Amino acid sequence: MQDSYKYQGMRRQLIKELSEKGIKSQQVLMCFEVVPRHFFLDNVFAEQAYSNIAFQIGAGQTISHPYTVAFQTELLNIKKGESILEIGTGSGFQTSILCEMGAKVFSIERHKELHLKAKNILRHLKYNCRLSFGDGYKGLPSFAPFDKIIITCGAPDVPEELLNQLKVGGVMVIPIGEGEEQLMKRITKVSEHEVEIEDFGVFKFVPMLENKVK
Ligand code: SAH
C-alpha cells in the first residue's frame, strides 16, 4: 500500500467535511491529514477511503465513520503523554489517531484476526502502541489506571471494571445501548465513587460482547 498526492488531497477534502459537520479541534483535524485511512481498508475500498463511510473489515466488524472517530477523539480532550485505553481495536484506525494525538495508547480487540492485522499495519506505519488480544471488559489491570478510556463498540452499560481502571479526574467516552443505536456518553470520574455523565447524541456501533474472545 502506498500513500500519494491523490490520497493526501482526498484527506484534505475529508477534513473540510469533518469541520463542516462540527469538529472544531484543529489538533484532531490535523491527525486526519496525516493518517492514511486507505491503509486500514481492503484494497477494493481504497478510492472511497476518505468518504464519511463505515466499511467491513472482516470478522463481521466495521471500521467506524471518520466523523465518529473524530467526534470521540474530540470528546476525549487528549493532552500529550496521557495514557489511553481503547476497547475495540478493529482496523486500528482510531488507535493511530490516538497515537497522532500524542497519547500513550493501549488497545484491546477480541478477534485475533483483526488484532493481528491491526498490529501489522500500525507497526508498518511506525506507531508505538500496545495492542492486546482479549476481552475488553477486563481492561488491562497491569497498566491501569488510565487517564482516558475510549470504547469503540456499543456497550449495554458502563463496564464496572473499566471504571475502576480510570484515574480520578479521568474521562471515559462510551456509546451505550443494546439495540442498533447507542447514545454517546462522556463519563468523568469526579471521585473514587462518583461520576458525571454528559450525553452527545445517537451513533451506530457493533456490539461490545463479553467473554467472546476468538
Ligand atoms: N476502533 C475501530 C472500530 C472497530 S468496530 C476502528 O477504528 O476500526 C469495534 C470493535 O470492537 C470490533 O472489532 C469488535 O470485534 C471489538 N469488540 C467488541 N467487543 C469487544 C470486547 N469485549 N473486547 C474487545 N474488543 C471488542
Asked if 72 and 94 touch (Cβ cutoff 8 Å), the reply is yes
Q: Tell me whether residue 96 is one of the annotated catalytic residues.
A: no
CA of 17 to the centre of ligand 1 (A): 25
Place of cell 478510556: 149
**Ligand 1 proximal residues by C-beta, below 6 Å:** 61-64, 87-88, 90-91, 93-94, 108-111, 114, 135-137, 152-153, 206, 208-210
Structure pTM? 0.97
CA–CA separation, 95 and 134 (whole Å)? 16
Residue 40, SS3? helix
- pLDDT (mean) for 171-184: 96
pLDDT on residue 90: 97
Domains of the chain: 5-203 (3.40.50.150)
pLDDT the model gives residue 93: 98
188 Cα: distance to centroid of ligand 1 (angstroms) = 22
Q: Which amino acid is at 100?
A: E
Q: Is the pLDDT of residue 107 over 90?
A: yes
Q: Which atom belonging to ligand 1 lies closest to the Cα atom of 153?
A: 9
